[in-house]
């Protein structure tokens, strides 16, 4: 007997709504007949809610039992966006898909749901195959998961796979995966220590706790070359900087795990961390190491003064660098700078040191200068 439980299919978008119709069509063509459709945008200007609602009403079939359309009032980042949508969902199963991707065929959802009948009972999520395609989704350039990794996913314990493989590469892509809703209740939702990387970081968090994922050779997703993480390839790009910060934090958290004993894993993660730090040492014009040192409560007065001087110099360098490419990115940069100043002020108030407090005055002026330069350009 086939499972007919409600499946929440969550379509997330950010600056890529031009591809949404293709994604929706691949959902409407599914043979599984009990789907909750959730379409959400993380506060980008290209999301026309009325037009999208009309397209859904004109093209959906009876398999769509409920429709939710959401647009965030402010940009949350991928991780918090996913958690917001989880809270909106009511299905027994949950599937995520980016709006610039599409399901590979009309039987994907049915095959994934029925997969739970043939895998071990303790499996909480099933991952299928993702086809990495060109920007038009016409040509498959490669398959995401090779046969060796497929075997290891199913044969190793969750922690063994985490320690030896998942620490090195994100082997569980977010799109080609179905979760039991209870998995998030038992093992936690997406890890909000991160901003952009939702799939890799949550997979690590879940595997460390023993959550079991199984691979089935079902071609699920046609993944379009591009997207937030793929297209963020220049240092000036806001998403790229946030991606780097996530990856640096991830590497540091892996290295801080005292239970990891595989020296090959440790060396590889150290190499990745060194690469990220060496090649992209500045996040929003502020050295990553400097941010961490200022956040330390053990900072002395002299060290704080020296670090604040470096901070001023970094922000000044940013103010004469390449301008942001659009108004949204400009506003994000300004918001980040203002938030950083607020965090710093709160730290100084906690130290209750008037000398340090006065040192923030020049930074306020510098941020005002940066704002004027950014807006002017």
Q: Considering the chain, what percentage of its residues have pLDDT values greater than 70?
A: 70
Q: DSSP letter string over 29-95?
A: T-S---EEEEEEE-S-TT--HHHHHHHHHHH--TTEEEEEEEE-SS---HHHHHHHHHHH---SEEE
Compute the distance between CA of residue 98 and CA of residue 101 in angstroms, rounded to an integer. Answer: 5
Position 186 pLDDT exceeds 80: yes
Q: What is the pLDDT of residue 335?
A: 66
Position 228 pLDDT exceeds 90: no
57: in domain: yes
145: in domain: yes
Compute the distance between CA of residue 150 and CA of residue 283 in angstroms, rounded to an integer. Answer: 36
Q: Are residues 199 and 343 in the same domain?
A: no
Q: How confident is the model at residue 305 (pLDDT cuts 50, 70, 90)?
A: low
248: in domain: no
Give per-residue pLDDT as tens, 87-104: 999 999 999 999 999 999
- In eight-state DSSP terms, residue 268 is H
Which domain, by its residues, includes 13? 7-231
Q: DSSP letter string over 229-243?
A: HHH--STT-HHHHHH
Q: How far apart are the first and last CA of the chain?
A: 63
Q: What is the pLDDT of residue 210?
A: 97
Q: What is the pLDDT of residue 234?
A: 43
Position 175 pLDDT exceeds 80: yes
Q: Are residues 69 and 185 in the same domain?
A: yes
Q: What is the pLDDT of residue 303?
A: 56
More confident of the two residues 242 and 70? 70
Q: Are residues 58 and 177 in the same domain?
A: yes
Q: Which strand (E) or helix (H) includes residue 341?
A: helix 327-351
Q: Are residues 28 and 175 in the same domain?
A: yes
Q: Are residues 215 and 98 in the same domain?
A: yes
246: in domain: no
74-99 as b/e, with b when 16 or more CB fall inside 10 Å? Answer: ebbbbbbbbbbbbeebebbbbbbbbb
Overall domain count for the chain: 2
Q: How confident is the model at residue 226 (pLDDT cuts 50, 70, 90)?
A: confident
More confident of the two residues 336 and 133? 133
Q: Are residues 53 and 200 in the same domain?
A: yes
Q: Considering the chain, what percentage of its residues have pLDDT values greater than 90?
A: 61
pTM for the predicted model, two decimal places: 0.76
Position 313 pLDDT exceeds 70: no
238: in domain: no
224 contact partners, CB below 8 Å, separation of at least 6:
19, 100, 101, 102, 133, 134, 135, 136, 137
Range 247-252 average pLDDT: 89
Domain end, chosen from 210, 231, 252, is at: 231
Domain end, chosen from 190, 207, 231, is at: 231
155: in domain: yes
User: Which segments of the chain are extended strands (E)?
Assistant: 7-13, 35-41, 64-71, 93-98, 102-103, 123-133, 140-143, 177-180, 212-224, 282-283, 286-287
Q: Are residues 196 and 81 in the same domain?
A: yes
**Pair of tokens at residue 117:** 């009948």
Give per-residue pLDDT as tens, 318-373: 544 444 455 566 566 666 666 665 665 555 455 444 444 455 555 555 555 555 55
What rounded mean pLDDT belongs to the chain?
82
Distances (CA, A) of 121 to 6, 126, 159: 19, 12, 18
- In eight-state DSSP terms, residue 226 is -
Q: What is the pLDDT of residue 306?
A: 60
Q: Are residues 42 and 187 in the same domain?
A: yes
Q: DSSP letter string over 308-319?
A: HHHHHHHHHHHH
59: in domain: yes
Domain of 107, CATH number, reads: 3.90.550.10
Give per-residue pLDDT as tens, 192-212: 989 899 999 999 999 999 999
Position 376 pLDDT exceeds 70: no
Q: Are residues 65 and 163 in the same domain?
A: yes
Domain end, chosen from 231, 263, 298, is at: 231
Q: How confident is the model at residue 50 (pLDDT cuts 50, 70, 90)?
A: very high
Q: Are residues 57 and 183 in the same domain?
A: yes
262: in domain: no
Q: Are residues 69 and 209 in the same domain?
A: yes
Q: Are residues 216 and 304 in the same domain?
A: no
| Alpha carbon 311 to chain centroid, angstroms | 28
**188 — alpha (psi -120 to 50), left (phi > 0) or beta?**
left
Range 77-82 average pLDDT: 94
Compute the distance between CA of residue 38 and CA of residue 64 in angstroms, rounded to an integer. Answer: 10
């Amino acid at each position: 007997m086939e499972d007919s439980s409600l499946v929440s299919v969550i379509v997330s978008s950010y600056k890529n709504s031009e591809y949404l119709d293709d994604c929706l069509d691949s959902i409407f063509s599914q043979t599984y007949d009990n789907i909750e459709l959730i379409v959400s945008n993380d506060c980008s200007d290209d999301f026309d809610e009325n037009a999208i609602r009309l397209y859904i009403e004109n093209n959906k079939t009876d398999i769509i039992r409920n429709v939710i359309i959401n647009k965030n009032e402010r940009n949350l980042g991928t991780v918090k966006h996913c958690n917001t949508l989880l809270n909106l969902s009511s299905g027994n199963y949950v599937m995520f898909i980016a709006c610039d991707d599409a399901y590979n065929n009309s039987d994907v959802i049915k095959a994934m749901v029925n997969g739970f009948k043939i895998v071990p009972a303790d499996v909480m999520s099933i991952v299928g195959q993702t086809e990495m395609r060109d920007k038009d989704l016409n040509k498959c350039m490669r398959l995401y998961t090779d046969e060796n990794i497929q075997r290891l996913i199913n044969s190793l314990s969750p922690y063994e796979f985490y320690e030896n493989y998942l620490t090195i590469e994100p082997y569980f892509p977010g799109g080609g995966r179905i979760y039991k809703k209870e998995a998030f209740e038992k093992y936690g939702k997406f890890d909000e220590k991160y901003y952009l990387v939702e799939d890799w970081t949550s997979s690590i968090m879940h595997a460390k706790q023993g959550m079991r994922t199984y691979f089935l050779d079902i071609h699920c997703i046609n993944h379009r070359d591009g997207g937030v993480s793929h297209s963020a390839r220049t240092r000036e790009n806001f998403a790229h900087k946030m991606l780097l910060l996530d990856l640096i934090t991830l590497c540091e958290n892996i290295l801080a795990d005292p239970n990891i004993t595989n020296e090959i894993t440790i060396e590889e993660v150290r190499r990745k961390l060194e690469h990220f730090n060496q090649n992209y040492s500045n996040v929003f014009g502020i050295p990553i190491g400097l941010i961490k040192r200022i956040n330390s409560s053990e900072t002395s007065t002299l060290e704080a003064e020296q670090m604040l001087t470096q901070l001023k110099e970094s922000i000044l360098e940013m103010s004469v660098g390449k301008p942001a490419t659009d108004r949204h990115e400009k506003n994000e940069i300004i918001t980040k700078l203002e938030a950083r100043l607020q965090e710093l002020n709160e730290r100084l108030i906690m130290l209750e040191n008037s000398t340090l407090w006065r040192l923030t005055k020049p930074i306020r002026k510098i941020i005002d200068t940066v704002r004027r330069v950014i807006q002017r350009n």
